[in-house]
Structure 1
Amino acid sequence: MSKILVTGGCGYIGSHTLVDLIDNGFEVVSIDNLINASENILDGVKAITGKTVQNYHIDLCDKAATRAVFQAHPDIAGIIHFAALKYVGESVEQPLRYFRNNLDSLLNILECMLEFGVKNIIFSSSCSVYGNATELPVTESTPFQNAESPYARTKQMGEHILQDFCFQEKNTNAVILRYFNPAGAHESTLIGEAATAATNLVPVITETAAGKRASMTVFGADYPTRDGSCVRDYIHVMDLANAHTKAIQYLLANRQESNCETFNLGIGEGVTVLEAIKAFEEVASQKLNYVIGPRRAGDVIAIYANNNRATARLGWLAKRGISDIMRTAWEWEQKR
């Protein structure tokens, strides 16, 4: 039973990954400063798995506090690093905060890995690193375009930091997972996307349908897409969680081709914002109250994945589609 340290373990993707790791026989430890999360989610993790997960309520930008966790767990076999500030709009407004938080936390983790001999890390990256891609679907070799937000730039910079780190530290292994738009909830409805200040499309849709919002806004209907709204690749959060488990298994089995590898994680299909709304309306059997608004700063026009490499190397497949995403998200919204 290998021990995995999950940073941001109380967050949306982190908590679902805790469940998948435990279901696959791993012992897990969490670090989360709870800025955008709650430890209450760990009650749901326990209800699903029967396991109590310890969370260290610390800030990864605090090097001494981070180091103390490594000291307390000298048997860490690998790290899955989710912890980061993540809101595109907020990053446009507060760029320095995003650079300080997202980069300092990564640097502290890498320095502790060296000090305590931890060899494996999975880095949570994003399709935002591609910017307004010149080719679709994007592959792992698609060149980066200019980052559309400071958040996206921190992910580009984080990848470069890891690549340089692994070039120097030949005995350290990294997998960079570039994922697209996670959504949905665990089938049990015991965990899902947190209720704090939802900005992602799917929880905004479900909150609107539940009457928590009078209406929602589609940001832009004049893009050069099939219906004028942005195109995204929505991936079910449990499919995404399982990819992290498969990536850590991949490293622990020494199956990697190099000591720093990158994988796209998406379902390989583009769905427009308006198509996503229609998919929800069909699942929930109700009409959604929405309005068309102006474009939003930081949004790319269209992005979706070629996921062939993750399938071939990690043995990963997305098993759920947009209808499953909307159904589980709506069930979670009604439950909470």
Structure 2
Amino acid sequence: MQEKIIVTGGCGYIGSHTVITLINHNYEVVILDDLSNSNVQILDRIEKITGVRPHFEQVDLKSSEATQAVFKTHKDAKAVIHFAAHKAVAESIQNPLMYYQNNLFSLINTLKAQQDNGINHLIFSSSATVYGNPSTMPITEDAPTQRSFSPYGNTKKIAEEILEDFTNSQSEISVISLRYFNPIGAHESGQIGEFPTGIPNNLMPYITQTAAGVREKLMVFGNDYPTKDGTPIRDYIHVVDLADAHLKALQRLLDPSSTQPLEVFNLGTGKGYSVLEMIKAFEAVSGSPLNYEITERRPGDVPEMFASTALAKQVLNWEATRGLQEMIQSSWTWEQNLRNEL
């Protein structure tokens, strides 16, 4: 019998890729999503790729009543993977209350509904932003978390503190928090990928939309950082590698011999690339020059972040296997397919 897994935010970018990985490993998936930053048509794409249409419930997890009702319906689920959150740094600075309300209420309501319905395992979608502006590289999991430069990042830090308090108070509950670095790329089918609404906040869709003619030019936010070429350095990880890590984390949680109440893992490649290096790499892959302009720094950006991934390799038996060229090529293929459809 298939084990049922609830995936909140499963129509989103990372969520949808993880749903595909779960289905391909014979899990029954229930997606909960309010569709505020995603599209229900993603279900068609998941079905086209896997041959299975996941069960879908449109629900606003900010509502405790709605969350309780849907969890009661699916109380036979073995675990929850919680992606549902707003995630744009700049937007969170402009509208902090929306971020605190959405990201924290949805987590609290999910945890309460799990507790009330006997679903004892959670994987939390966290972020490297919990490290603030770290003083040493690469970043290990025992680096101190800091007050983030953005309300978005701060919601992830507060969420991890909530999870720590919650697991300390509940002997039955076990949680794995996965701190992502910078997910890019798309599924090898070219059928799903990152599809932000409005002007992208993340670098790769901004690059591919510029190359596709959707955006006039790419804005590079600052070239006066203390890095090798003055532009910020980030650790980019293929979204399918990220999805594989969620599968490994789920298998660990469901293993009866695993008894840790709360574990935290970095998910990255351990390599950092600057914005200008990413632009040059894209130009090499696509064979065409990219129109970009250097502009002022953006609030909330830190100079450099890349992960130590030793712990995930040791404990989860996971490491990223897809290189930068594959990440960029899959992103570009997805963008081209998308523009042909629209």
Question: Gaps spanning 5+ residues in structure 2: where?
Answer: none
**Matched residue SS, 1:135:** coil
Superposition pairs of residues 144-293 of structure 1, within 5 angstroms: 144-197=145-198, 198-256=200-258, 258-293=260-295
1:298 and 2:263 correspond: no
What value does the CA root-mean-square deviation take over the aligned residues? 0.9
What stretches of structure 1 move > 4 A for 4+ residues in a row? none
Deviations 1:179-225, CA, capped at 9 Å, x for gaps? 10001100000111114222210000000001111111100000000
**Contact 2:233–2:272 (CA<8 Å) still a contact in 1?**
yes
- For residue 76 of structure 1, give the secondary structure of its aligned residue in structure 2: coil
CA deviation vs aligned residue, 1:106-146 (integer Å, no higher than 9, x gap)? 10011111100001000000000001101111000001233
Secondary structure of the residue aligned to 2:293 is: strand
Say if 2:340 is the partner of 1:334.
no
1:143-164 Cα shifts (integer Å, max 9, x gaps): 1233110000000000000011
Q: Secondary structure at the match of 2:100?
A: helix
Shift of 1:261: 0.3
1:69 alignment partner AA: V
Equivalent residue runs for 1:2-13 within 5 Å: 2-13=3-14
Return 192-201 or 293-302, whichever deviates more.
Answer: 192-201
Conservation of the 8 A alpha-carbon contact between 2:104 and 2:159 = yes
Q: Does 1:124 align with 2:162?
A: no
Moved more, 62-71 or 203-212: 62-71
Which whole-Å CA distance do the structure 2 matches of 1:255 and 1:137 have between them? 31
Q: How many residues align?
A: 336
Please name the residue that 1:44 is paired with: 45
How far the C-alpha of 1:105 sits from its partner, in A, is: 0.6
Unpaired segments of 5 or more residues in structure 1?
Answer: none
Map residues 26-65 of structure 1 onto 2, 5 A cutoff: 26-65=27-66
Shift of residue 299 of structure 1? 0.8
How high is the sequence identity, in percent, across the aligned residues? Answer: 50
Of 140-149 and 176-185, the range deviating more from structure 2: 140-149
Which secondary structure does the structure 2 equivalent of 1:243 belong to? helix
Structure 1 residue 254: deviation in Å?
A: 3.2
| C-alpha deviation, 1:312, in angstroms | 0.8
User: Normalising by structure 1, what TM-score?
Assistant: 0.99
**Secondary structure, counterpart of 1:182 in structure 2:** strand
Partners of 2:167 and 2:261 within 8 A in 1: yes
